[in-house]
Structure 1
Amino acid sequence: MRLIVLSDSHRNYDALRRVFCRHMDADLFIHLGDGEEELDLLLTQFPDLSARTWHVKGNCDYDSMSLPVLTLGLEHSHRLVATHGHNYGVNSSLEHLKALARQNDADLALFGHTHVRCARYEDGLYLLNPGSVSCPRDGMPPSYGIVDVTEQGILTNIVPVTPRP
């Protein structure tokens, strides 16, 4: 099972579209907030992706009715929790996020908000912030995440959003 994880597109429709188009065969797409407007536009242009696309509300997704936290069961008895992160203090610590994951019996926690990529494994929990597909704050190129869930376990990767050829 392959998940494409994006965050913080901040009205950069082109970057969002490039990532989706590169991974049309993915099982799930998860947007971690601050980009609901362009995500809605993309889904009107590619309606067949709607059933495979999930998102959470970010602090800049004004007037959004989306939930701030998403929990999903995955293949091979894995479970994820996804949130933008601003309500869990991810700028200073991941402890509240880890507590959220434990409360939801998740072994994968996805978050955004900081625009800084992060991929860690701590105490049986995979933590992934894919960075920002449009405006990273870590001096690295814009990025997104790929999560592969297999019988052997979970593999997380952060990859750059490459410019149009």
Structure 2
Amino acid sequence: MMKIVVLSDTHMPKKGKSLPERFVKELPSADAIIHAGDWQTKEVVEELKGYGLPVYGVYGNVDGEDIHSVFPYKQTINLNGYRIGLIHGHGEKKTTEKRALEEFKDEEVDLIIFGHSHLPLTRYMNKVMLFNPGSVTDKRKLPYYSFGILTLEEEVHAEHIFFS
């Protein structure tokens, strides 16, 4: 079993001074962290790496060269036998989820993790799970902040954690 904590759109320090306690509480039992972009500053990268876990990520539309130099626009990672596509999801036309799906149309992936919309989502399209964790620091008009937990075993278990 592998537990991955997933977050996106931290927009720190603009939308939050530090990672929320509810999010940090999950890290001791996690095997990896995935961030789907819009970190805003390199300090977020350093803070997450400070927990001693592998940190996978991509850059988003608000990220500058400091983040571009660490993370790609998109990537595919293999974790516990699953191929996971990772992208922020920004762009022109279409919905964020359709843009994310389109980016991996020529690749065989089991799961696509994306962000950008700040809207938590779990759904299947064309036998591929799409997962957006929402945002731990910028809920916009939603009632709660959110992040995700993926458990990779014989099947993928995806869960959103909502908190205020």
**TM-score (normalised: structure 1):** 0.82
Aligned alpha-carbon RMSD (Å): 2.2
2:101 maps to: 98
Q: 1:117 aligns with which of 107, 115, 120?
A: 120
Q: Aligned to 1:97, what secondary structure does the other structure show?
A: helix
Q: Does 1:70 align with 2:72?
A: no
C-alpha contact 1:101 1:108 (8 A) present in aligned 2: no
1:8 maps to: 9
Structure 2 distance, partners of 1:70, 1:28, is 16
Structure 1 distance, partners of 2:117, 2:102, is 19
Q: Aligned to 2:130, what secondary structure does the other structure show?
A: strand
Q: Percent identity?
A: 29
Q: Give the 3 Å change call, closer, same or farther, for CA 140–89 of structure 1 in structure 2.
A: farther
Q: Aligned to 1:15, what secondary structure does the other structure show?
A: coil
Q: Which has the higher helix share?
A: 1
The number of aligned residues is 156
1:154 maps to: 156
Q: Does 1:29 align with 2:33?
A: yes
Q: Give the 3 Å change call, closer, same or farther, for CA 89–69 of structure 1 in structure 2.
A: farther
Which residue identity is paired with 2:122? A
1:61 maps to: 63
Which residue identity is paired with 2:34? I
Structure 1 distance, partners of 2:32, 2:93, is 26
Q: Deviations over 1:114-146 (max 9, x none)?
A: 111111122211100111111123523010011
Contiguous gaps of at least 5 residues in structure 1: none
C-alpha contact 1:5 1:130 (8 A) present in aligned 2: yes
Structure 2 distance, partners of 1:26, 1:139, is 26
Contiguous gaps of at least 5 residues in structure 2: none
C-alpha contact 1:117 1:138 (8 A) present in aligned 2: no
Q: Deviations over 1:15-63 (max 9, x none)?
A: 356513432221110011111524234146x2623xx111110111112
Q: Aligned to 1:95, what secondary structure does the other structure show?
A: helix
Once the two structures are superposed, the pairs formed by residues 73-88 of structure 1 within 5 Å of their partners are 73-75=78-80, 77-87=81-91
Structure 2 distance, partners of 1:6, 1:138, is 18
Structure 1 distance, partners of 2:150, 2:96, is 23
Structure 1 distance, partners of 2:113, 2:22, is 21
C-alpha contact 1:71 1:79 (8 A) present in aligned 2: yes
C-alpha contact 1:130 1:143 (8 A) present in aligned 2: yes
State the shift of 1:93 in Å.
Answer: 5.1
Structure 1 distance, partners of 2:34, 2:92, is 18
Where has structure 1 moved over 6 Å in runs of 4 or more?
Answer: none
